[in-house]
Amino acid sequence: MPAQAAEPPAAAADSMSNPDRAGNPGRSVLILGGTSAIGTAIAQALLVEQPGPVVVAARDIDRAQVVAERLRSVGATDAFTVRFDGAEVHETTRAITEATALLGRVDVAIVAFGTYADSAELASDLDATLALVHLNLQGAIAAGEALAELIQSQRCGRILAVSSRPQPWTLENAGVYAASKAGFDTYFASLGSRLRTDGGDVLVIRPPGVNTPLIENHSSFLSPEEVAAEVVSAMRNGMNDLTIRTRDEQRLARRSFLQKIAGRVRHALGIL
């Protein structure tokens, strides 16, 4: 069955006040920035773990439909698309209301939209600079506020906020992007504290470099699937923030773990 585009949100008010989702069992997932490589990898890993309905919210509906089809093939019990442009901050509540009407209740919302440009690309272009900050920070806050209202009305729901790990290279060469993601990070961490008494929670995800269309790829970068596997495990452990190690850090951590075990074995055997 083809993925379904959203109809006008006729049932939005009812579904938001009724957390029981008749006819739509399983864990429901909303992806804001629905064509994001990291966002769709996380959604896919969640659906493999526990099938449920999904809404792919993106600005390009044709590409969103392709993602929705793929997610259906890996476990989505239903897959819908909704038009969403994160820069149109006054339209964000409409997109989330449409998604909620389709899902009945949003169990997990992945905030994965964003854009990247380095300082050289932005040099002398104030409009492009402010547009990046507007999308990555103000757009994200608009999404967070609309999701907070939804979670408060549902009395449950989890936000997975794809932040970024501050790294020397980014701080030096992409300061505006780094600043926008630092603001994003602080906002979603604080939203997590705010929602705790309402039955909601936020997982702030800080990946290092990941091979996606966003940024020039590098052989040492992680794959979106590696990030997704860590996110699923962090969710299982009820974590509120997840800083993902680079490949080199993972290697070092494995080596020091093995050295520690070997030291304990030597100690137990009385070998110096």
58 binds ligand NAP (CB under 6 A): yes
Residue whose tokens read 């990247």: 116
87 binds ligand NAP (CB under 6 A): yes
Nearer of residues 103 and 161 to ligand NAP, judged by Cβ:
161
Tokens of 52: 């449920």
What are the helix and strand counts (H, E) for the chain?
11, 8
Element spanning 56, H or E = strand 52-58
Distance CA 224, CA 9 (A): 32
Given CA atoms 96, 75, 49, 43 in this order, what sign does their dihedral have?
A: negative
Q: Which residue in the set 30, 110, 135, 146 belongs to the binding site for ligand NAP (CB under 6 A)?
A: 135
Q: List residues bridging with 157 in a β-sheet.
A: 200
Length of the chain: 272
| Under rule CB under 6 A, residue 70 binds ligand NAP | no
Number of residues binding to ligand NAP, judged by CB under 6 A: 29
Among 3, 209, 228, 231, binds ligand NAP (CB under 6 A): 209
Query: Judged by CB under 6 A, does residue 232 bind ligand NAP?
Result: no
Q: Tokens in use for 136?
A: 């990555």
- Per-residue x/- marks for ligand NAP, 9-48, CB under 6 A? ------------------------x-xxxxx---------
Interface with ligand NAP includes 214 (CB under 6 A)?
A: yes
Euclidean distance between CA atoms 235 and 160, whole angstroms: 9
Binding site for ligand NAP (CB under 6 A): 33, 35-39, 58-60, 63, 84-87, 112-115, 135, 162, 164, 181, 207, 209-210, 212-215
